[in-house]
Chain A
Amino acid sequence: MDMAGVELSELRFRWTGTGPLILDIDAFAVEAGARIFLRGPSGSGKTTLLNVIGGVATPQTGRICIGETEITELSPAARDRFRAERIGFIFQQFNLVPYLGLIENVTLPCRFSAQRREKASASRSLDQEARRLLTHMQLDPAELAGRSVATLSVGQQQRVAAARALIGSPDLIVADEPTSSIDADAREAFLNLLFDETRRTGATIIFVSHDTGLTEMFDRTVDLASINRAAPMQKHAA
């Protein structure tokens, strides 16, 4: 089982060459298999940081290592491939591709990564693995199979997205406020299901949220404003 921590050092990022500095992080590390709660107000650079860790945005300076791989050294194509193979994402909402079915949405990363497809179908077929993950996320694939994913409730959609992030056992799960659209009662249940599965695979979780009520469920809480010198001061104070 591969496990990957995340390590950032001397990271500087601007969206444009002369634009304002968005990320200015000297050092930040997440241990392999850890569950990190990353909090920060709007504008503190959370979304940008996730794009940078995901390899979609490239910092002007600095290093980002995920496991043994320094992704800042990779070509854009190799970063895309690395993302497909090693990282699972869950977003705040609108997580699913509307024209794909339930199982197709879950197995979507496997269309772009042969390695992930092989890992997902190591012990059972790809479809069976998708069904297992959906069932684990307390969804009934047989009952939902005929429905368009657009008709699922927000909570159901988030659980499908979690199953997609988990398929093929990626080393890193990045979750961007995945519980913000879910009822308070369902949030803990959602996280418990997510953690159950990542505990089994040993994946690292970086969980971004405003909701400080969930921090106790994580190994560590990091305030982004405290590590990102480019975060606005007033928001830092908040």
Chain B
Amino acid sequence: MAILTLALKSLWNRRLTAVLTVLAIAVSVMLLLGVEKVRTGAKSSFANTIAGTDLIVGARSGATQLLLYSVFRIGNATNNISWASYRRITRHPDVAWALPLSLGDSHRGYRVLGTTAAYFDHYRYGRRQNLAFEAGKPFEDLYDAVLGAEVAKALDYAMDDPLVITHGLGAEGFQKHDDKPFRVVGILEPTGTPLDRTIHISLEGMEAIHVDWQGGTRVPGLTVSAEEARQMNLTPKSVTAILIGLKSRFATFGLQRQINEDRREPLLAILPGVALQEMWDLMGTAEAALSAISIFVVASGLLGMLIMLLAGLGERRREMAILRSVGARPLHIFGLLVAEAALLTLVGAILGLALLYAGLTIAQPWIVAEYGLFLPIEAPSNRDLSLLGAVIGAGFLAGALPAWKACRQSLADGMIVRM
């Protein structure tokens, strides 16, 4: 206790360098745990987004790309699937349900998804949980919209509020489908997945807002009002992707092969779990590199502390001699330096943790909006605590070197040091 008090007072006496050292350690700990949070957050967020879907079908591209744009709303499709192919797949005897996805438009930065009402019955997330409505019901009318929980919260939308869809994905696009406004008829409960940031409309609704558009712009001289569109044939010509549930899982590989070998249209069918694993494998190297960088940053923070303690030893020889003269044992001298290192590391680690959570609280909405990545603010995991323990342990070890040196020095100096 005496040594701990002395260590505290000694650090307070050198508070400027101590604070800078603590900050260096705190920033490095924040980075280390932040990388861990992003890594685990991304994995759980991705893994929880889709469940119970056996196959995802899109235009032929890469499995990861298809997974990213169809499920996670990241990136864009390179091509669409024809309506005929969609119809063929739905009629396949092994298919229990098929959910068409039509993407490409947005509303104030949130993606708009055109699909069928069956989506709300068949889509599963997390541990095969169903979508549930916080308010309202699935869309029925052509211009009905169902909002993800976060959209409603962030944009402060309530039932029956109107909303105008923007053509394309810009946060504030120039070209708006303002002649055909939608109406909020349902708000989903939070899922912690990209669905929370999605506005769901019917495929026909999606088609309706594009009847007087061609090649991404309005057709000059052609204006179709919202009511006129209701009378038109709104069967889509194409969709972006299809989520498929099979009657039997044994049919998965057979149907996947049939779709991938379809000569009528180049399509790609993927198994979500396999594609997700491929994505982790792809990210593994980047993950390892990030972890290595953050470990080096922690090491540099601890090295800074080591330099501070070692640099101060010369001018502290008198202090050690005085302590020896009043009865301090070499072990006390060793303990004093180790306690200083441990306190710096401990405070740095706690501050780093606090900074991480403060940063998460501030940046969470932005990370979600910008990267579609939901990083939950929850208690540190066992792995987080293990990492913190390792950092504090490393701090103790780093303190042992100057402590050992001070101990040796005090044994050599004795009580009387001529400065």
Contacts A56-B414, A99-B12, A176-B416 given: A89-B326 contact, CB under 8 Å? yes
Min C-beta distance of B345 to chain A, whole Å: 20
Interface string of A69-85 (1 = CB under 8 A from B): 00000001100110111
Interface-forming stretch among A106-114, A193-201, A220-228, A230-238?
A106-114
**A95 contacts the other chain (Cβ, under 8 Å)?**
yes
Size of chain B's interface in residues, with CB distance under 8 A?
27
Contacts of B9 in A (CB 8 A): 99-100, 104
**B324 contacts the other chain (Cβ, under 8 Å)?**
yes
Contacts of A164 in B (CB 8 A): 326
Contacts of A50 in B (CB 8 A): 415-416
**B2 contacts the other chain (Cβ, under 8 Å)?**
yes
Interface string of B300-337 (1 = CB under 8 A from A): 00000000000000000011011111111111100000
**A214 contacts the other chain (Cβ, under 8 Å)?**
no
How many Å lie between the Cα of A89 and that of B332 in the bound state?
18
Contacts of B325 in A (CB 8 A): 54, 83, 89, 91
List the B residue with the shortest CB-CB distance to A177. Answer: B416
Decide: B323 and A97 in contact? CB cutoff 8 A.
yes
Decide: A83 and B327 in contact? CB cutoff 8 A.
yes
Contacts A97-B319, A98-B319, A99-B13 given: A80-B329 contact, CB under 8 Å? yes
Chain A CB within 10 A, most for which of B326, B331, B418? B326
**B362 contacts the other chain (Cβ, under 8 Å)?**
no
Contacts of A84 in B (CB 8 A): 326-328
Other-chain contact of B13, A81, A89, A98, A109 (Cβ < 8 Å) = A98
List the A residue with the shortest CB-CB distance to B325. Answer: A89
Interface string of B99-111 (1 = CB under 8 A from A): 0000000000000
Decide: A95 and B328 in contact? CB cutoff 8 A.
no
**B10 contacts the other chain (Cβ, under 8 Å)?**
yes
Decide: B419 and A94 in contact? CB cutoff 8 A.
yes
Contacts of A94 in B (CB 8 A): 318, 322, 419
Given contacts A91-B322, A112-B332, 9 further A-B contacts (CB under 8 A): A56-B414, A83-B325, A97-B323, A99-B14, A100-B6, A108-B326, A112-B2, A112-B326, A112-B328
